Structure 1
């Protein structure tokens, strides 16, 4: 069995898995950042390869799944160049993290998956000619139901409480003040950061804790996230994508998000079978690397590049 390398780059962190004849090794790294020039992906790839101690000739195929590869970069070339620089000429797949997540969660079967962490995307595929991406437009224009989306709405509610525009969110305001300090400093702390989406998503733990304490506003924000994710998943499930679906991402650790999404999807599409995920985006990347090595993987630009 030839060795393959799977890499996952996301707003919450980066991971790499080496699958070799002598075993499996995994390493973790920093989260993916966005600079004025676009995604800062190449240094993460280089760092993960270095942590694994890999050199040219050590692996037969690589798959890099990355958040924002479609919307926040000029394409896959910067990742391809980073892989070539670290590992030489090797068969390489660069894919949206929506693709690797869908392949991993469904175990390589056709269907649709909604991915939500710092950002959110849904992807539906028949594994042949259709690879349909929904949302994933970033925390300003989209990413409905994501960690950044939840954090933004929580801070908006807190500021409305601070301004006297509402009176039902004192707990959210107190929690946000404990995290960020006085509200007048929040715009600078968020707007001036390159990783502002991650900063917004950091608020999710506070929202989940307040919802667990039966705070109605926090609970409704999480429920609204579930409804948004169901809408994205239903859009990804249009024909020719079969009615099989799953989910992946840390936001689903909040039970209210998952249960509300399940209920909302049932209202939108009663025919859909919603299953727990079989694997992660890293599992999907490993599977795609194997398929590329076997010559069984067709490119689907711009979501899936095979070099």
Structure 2
């Protein structure tokens, strides 16, 4: 066996890993996905990562590229697969949503459901065969309940209400907002004119989580509400034939028990038969497992979340 290529593309950066029994593991990092008039541009990132890893035809038996924003991707799943195969030969190649790679990684390649929370939030339940049930992930305007942008927006709403005099219990949130962004009047102009407003809102989630951890009641209410929304998404993703197994992944969970404890409690209330487990791995681990299954011929396409391009007949 030559090796497997696992790639994870995100808005803030990209990562790749080549794993083989024939030599030491290789890793590479690169820039983030950018948006053009036609959508997200992924192909140049993938080819640059392959070059940085020093891979050629014959070095890879199978590959998987996971990326955010797949449903609105400009380059398209087949364009990404073609770019991989042009560099590495006609190897089995998977192009998947990062929801899929993260779910597979968190559950160690077993079926179940995972909630993914970073700037955005989605949940995915799967039997790894015919069912790939996605919940939320509708963006910070229409959804992403429980995400970093959701937490940040609600923290800022409370801060602005304190600034206006509509409430008197959010002074610490207002002080944190001023420390990070300046006066509220300036922040509103910045939020409504920026393309990356979701990321800007999500940056305030760190302050909300810190205040909640320090015992601030208003911040604690926001974080508790976020955990309940995450649990609702997980419960909705756990439709039969998805087994009652659940986990979580994403940057927002770096906050630790301030989120995971209320998440587990709410999930237990909604689905007493489900136990919330700590994640076993991340998106790159999931991509590697999917690449191996594509090589073995045991992975079927489920567009647009998961596209498998087989090797030569």
TM-score per shorter chain, which class? over 0.9
The CA distance in 2 between the partners of 1:217 and 1:304, in whole Å, is: 40
Question: What corresponds to 2:203 in structure 1?
Answer: 202
Question: What corresponds to 2:14 in structure 1?
Answer: 14
Structure 2: state its 5+ residue gaps: none
Question: What corresponds to 2:279 in structure 1?
Answer: 277
Deviation by residue 1:67-87 (Cα, 9 ceiling, x = unmatched): 110145574244335434554
- Structure-to-structure mapping, 1:1-307, within 5 angstroms: 1-20=1-20, 21-71=22-72, 73=74, 75-84=76-85, 86-87=87-88, 89-254=90-255, 255-307=257-309
The CA distance in 2 between the partners of 1:165 and 1:73, in whole Å, is: 44
The CA distance in 1 between the partners of 2:82 and 2:180, in whole Å, is: 39
The CA distance in 1 between the partners of 2:166 and 2:78, in whole Å, is: 48
Alpha-carbon RMSD: 2.0
The CA distance in 2 between the partners of 1:261 and 1:16, in whole Å, is: 31
Deviation at 1:269, TM superposition (A): 0.4
Structure 1: state its 5+ residue gaps: none
Change (3 A) 1:125 1:139: same
Deviation at 1:28, TM superposition (A): 2.5
Which stretch of structure 1 is more off in the superposition, 25-34 or 114-123?
25-34
Q: Residue 278 of structure 2 aligns to a residue in which SS? A: coil
Q: Residue 209 of structure 2 aligns to a residue in which SS? A: helix
Deviation at 1:290, TM superposition (A): 0.9
| Maintained 8 Å contact 1:11/1:119 | no
TM-score after normalising by structure 1: 0.92
Deviation at 1:190, TM superposition (A): 2.7
- The count of residues paired between Structure 1 and Structure 2 equals 307
The CA distance in 2 between the partners of 1:38 and 1:52, in whole Å, is: 26
The CA distance in 1 between the partners of 2:280 and 2:62, in whole Å, is: 23
| Maintained 8 Å contact 1:65/1:281 | yes
Q: Residue 70 of structure 1 aligns to a residue in which SS? A: helix
The CA distance in 1 between the partners of 2:150 and 2:83, in whole Å, is: 31
Q: Residue 64 of structure 2 aligns to a residue in which SS? A: strand
The CA distance in 1 between the partners of 2:57 and 2:127, in whole Å, is: 35
